[in-house]
């Protein structure tokens, strides 16, 4: 006998076997009990949630020799034929293959005849939305005035594609996606019946991979058994499904919330070593952080998150110290990253930099707190009063900017006697600019890093640090000398010396510009720190000045 896949072997045969669709089962049973069975039904919902199975069970309930009954016997000729899809009075039609008006005309001709051996002639049309508009129009009159012995059951995943004229003539039943808990319970029953050893965590992975579809989950279970045999381990399942381990995901979120970028990088390396897809890794992080957000908002999440009780307790412990604002910010960045990873040529680098960024972000402040502080600042400024220097308590307190001395910058000693830097209207800076204009970027860059040691024509003596001195060869010295001759319009002999850190050499042009910019930036910072509005804002928000940018280009 050929092997029968689990999805067919364990197909529901009674209303009570329809997992997660109790609202549908109860309504259909009540309709049978009270003899209020409509002539047309529309079953809608995602794939693999039990639409066609419910249609077969309903057909058996109506045509069972012991019925109509809410519990078909399953052994009478009608029940057996329907189970085997061989019933001559219960016709299953594939809407995707019979889309034309001629197919519906044939159905209309067939419907006029009484059932041969059953109580009703039942037509189950799967994927009914695939019918053409003309086919729907041909079916319309039959649905409006059907014969007493005919029943229609339509199944579809896309009800919005069905004309409203058809929808208005059907009783509609929306099948829900199956929750993780009932799906996992059904999988546990099936593996126990087959003597298959699977841990609860493994069943949770299989159930979650089904995405609310029983058929998809059973197909995954079939694949896992084929791969692992009667002993299905969690590690093998993770490898089969391409999933990152739950422990690694939790450790990654913990490293981010603990502001530990080094640990985040180590975890990314583990993901790479295990050969996981970084996009899949990011998707699982998104699902995990979403669950944390739900737990911060709802005490009892119920079906809002698909996790078992053990996993739920782990998530509660992870979410407890984090703020809702931090989790929402984390979720937004991860969602953007997941989209970026689809196009990135460097997925590991992209993931690393995002996690380092997330681990380095300062703790967020609630919007209500910010508004309250802003209102306080506005009142103080309106009254013309200085803001009180209160001590604010933050989750990660930072020192006030005016309490931190500016970092000391290394000062390069100046020589007692500076070398000449100009001869007539010709200067050392002019020579560097001349070389730059000659489109010699490599030489001009070296000259900007050089210290002028002597300019007494015909002698031009310059010094370079060891790192730059190694780049100068005889050909470059000759080029410098030729351009110096052209610039000074006289004979020039260029000498290049190596200078060390301890040498008392003059500042290079690059160092002079850097020092001038540093002095200007320090003055800008001092002015900003002393500004009363800035002081008030720092006191209220408990922050620090990260950067100061001039808005007046003429500031000196």
- Band (pLDDT 50/70/90 cuts) for residue 175 is very high
Q: Where are the domains of the chain?
A: 6-174, 180-241, 246-360, 422-505
What CATH homologous superfamily does 6-174 map to?
P-loop containing nucleotide triphosphate hydrolases (3.40.50.300)
- Band (pLDDT 50/70/90 cuts) for residue 524 is confident
Above 70 in pLDDT, residue 304? yes
pLDDT higher at 528 or 164: 164
CB 31 within 8 A of CB 57: no
Q: Point out the least confidently predicted range of 95-99, 342-346, 426-430.
A: 95-99
Length of the chain: 556
- Band (pLDDT 50/70/90 cuts) for residue 61 is very high
pLDDT digits (tens, 9 = 90+) for 215-266: 999 999 998 898 888 888 888 888 888 788 888 888 999 999 888 889 999 9
Fold for the domain defined by 422-505: GMP Synthetase; Chain A, domain 3 (3.30.300)
Predicted local confidence at residue 243, as pLDDT = 80
Indicate the CATH number for domain 180-241: 1.10.8.60
pLDDT digits (tens, 9 = 90+) for 332-361: 999 999 999 988 899 999 999 999 998 888
CB 26 within 8 A of CB 137: no
Predicted local confidence at residue 368, as pLDDT = 65
Nearest CA among 86, 191, 101 for reference residue 137: 101
Above 90 in pLDDT, residue 28? yes
Alpha helix locations (H) across 156-243?
A: 164-167, 180-193, 200-209, 214-228, 234-241
Mean per-residue pLDDT of the chain: 82
Nearest CA among 535, 531, 528 for reference residue 389: 535
Question: Among positive and negative, which fits the CA dihedral 218, 222, 223, 228?
Answer: positive
CB 56 within 8 A of CB 79: no
pLDDT digits (tens, 9 = 90+) for 466-518: 777 877 888 888 888 888 888 888 888 988 888 877 667 888 888 888 888 77
Predicted local confidence at residue 353, as pLDDT = 93
CB 417 within 8 A of CB 423: no
DSSP state of 114: P
pLDDT digits (tens, 9 = 90+) for 362-420: 766 666 666 777 777 777 666 655 544 444 344 444 444 344 444 444 444 444 444 55
State the pairing for strand pair 40-44/150-156. Answer: parallel
- Band (pLDDT 50/70/90 cuts) for residue 133 is confident
Fold for the domain defined by 246-360: Zinc Finger, Delta Prime; domain 3 (1.20.272)
Nearest CA among 354, 356, 358, 328 for reference residue 340: 354
DSSP state of 483: H
């Amino acid at each position: 006998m050929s092997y029968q896949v689990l999805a067919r072997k364990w197909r529901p045969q009674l209303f009570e076997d329809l997992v997660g669709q109790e609202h549908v089962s109860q309504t259909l049973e009540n309709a049978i009990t009270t003899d209020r069975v409509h002539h047309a039904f529309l079953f809608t919902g995602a794939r693999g949630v039990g639409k066609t199975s419910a249609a077969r069970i309903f057909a058996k309930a109506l045509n069972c020799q012991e019925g109509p009954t809410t519990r078909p016997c399953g052994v009478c000729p009608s029940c057996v034929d329907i189970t085997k899809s061989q019933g001559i009075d219960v016709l299953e039609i594939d809407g995707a293959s019979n889309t034309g008006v001629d197919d519906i005309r044939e159905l209309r001709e067939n419907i006029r005849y009484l059932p041969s051996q059953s109580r009703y002639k039942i037509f189950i049309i799967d994927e009914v939305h695939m019918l053409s508009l003309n086919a729907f129009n041909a079916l319309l009159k039959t649905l409006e005035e059907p014969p007493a012995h005919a029943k229609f059951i339509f199944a579809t995943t896309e009800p919005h594609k069905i004309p409203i004229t058809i929808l208005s003539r059907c009783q509609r039943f929306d099948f829900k996606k199956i929750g993780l808990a009932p799906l996992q319970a059904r999988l546990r029953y099936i593996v126990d019946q087959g003597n298959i050893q699977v841990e609860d965590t493994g069943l949770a992975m299989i159930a979650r991979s089904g995405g609310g579809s029983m058929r998809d989950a059973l197909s995954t279970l079939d694949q896992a058994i084929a791969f692992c045999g009667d002993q299905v381990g969690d590690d093998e399942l993770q490898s089969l499904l391409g999933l990152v381990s739950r422990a690694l995901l939790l450790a990654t979120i913990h490293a981010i919330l603990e502001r530990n970028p080094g640990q985040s990088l180590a975890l990314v390396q583990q993901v790479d070593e295990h050969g996981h897809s970084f996009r899949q890794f990011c998707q699982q992080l998104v699902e995990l952080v979403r669950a944390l957000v739900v737990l911060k908002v709802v005490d009892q999440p119920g079906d809002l998150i698909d996790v078992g009780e053990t996993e739920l307790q782990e998530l509660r412990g992870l979410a407890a110290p984090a703020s809702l604002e931090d989790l929402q910010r984390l979720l937004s960045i991860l969602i953007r990253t997941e989209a970026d990873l689809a196009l990135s040529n460097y997925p590991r680098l992209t993931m690393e930099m995002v996690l380092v960024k997330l681990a380095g972000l300062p703790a967020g402040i609630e919007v209500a707190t910010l508004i309250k502080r802003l209102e306080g600042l506005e009142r103080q400024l309106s009254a013309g009063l200085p803001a009180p220097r209160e001590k604010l308590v933050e989750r990660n307190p930072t020192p006030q900017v005016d309490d931190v001395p500016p970092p000391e910058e290394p000062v390069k000693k100046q020589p007692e006697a500076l070398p000449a830097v100009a001869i007539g209207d010709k200067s050392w800076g002019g020579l560097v600019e001349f070389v730059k204009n000659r489109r010699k970027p490599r030489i001009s860059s070296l000259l900007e890093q050089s210290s002028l040691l002597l300019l007494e024509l015909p002698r031009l003596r310059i010094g370079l640090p060891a790192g730059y001195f190694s780049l100068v060869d005889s050909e470059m010295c000759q080029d410098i000398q030729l351009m110096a001759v052209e610039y000074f319009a006289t004979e020039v002999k260029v000498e290049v010396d190596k200078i060390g850190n301890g040498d008392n050499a003059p500042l290079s042009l690059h160092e002079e510009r850097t020092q001038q910019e540093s002095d200007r930036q320090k003055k800008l910072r001092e002015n900003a720190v002393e500004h009363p509005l800035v002081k008030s804002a720092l006191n209220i928000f408990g922050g620090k000045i990260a950067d100061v940018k001039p808005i007046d280009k003429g500031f000196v």
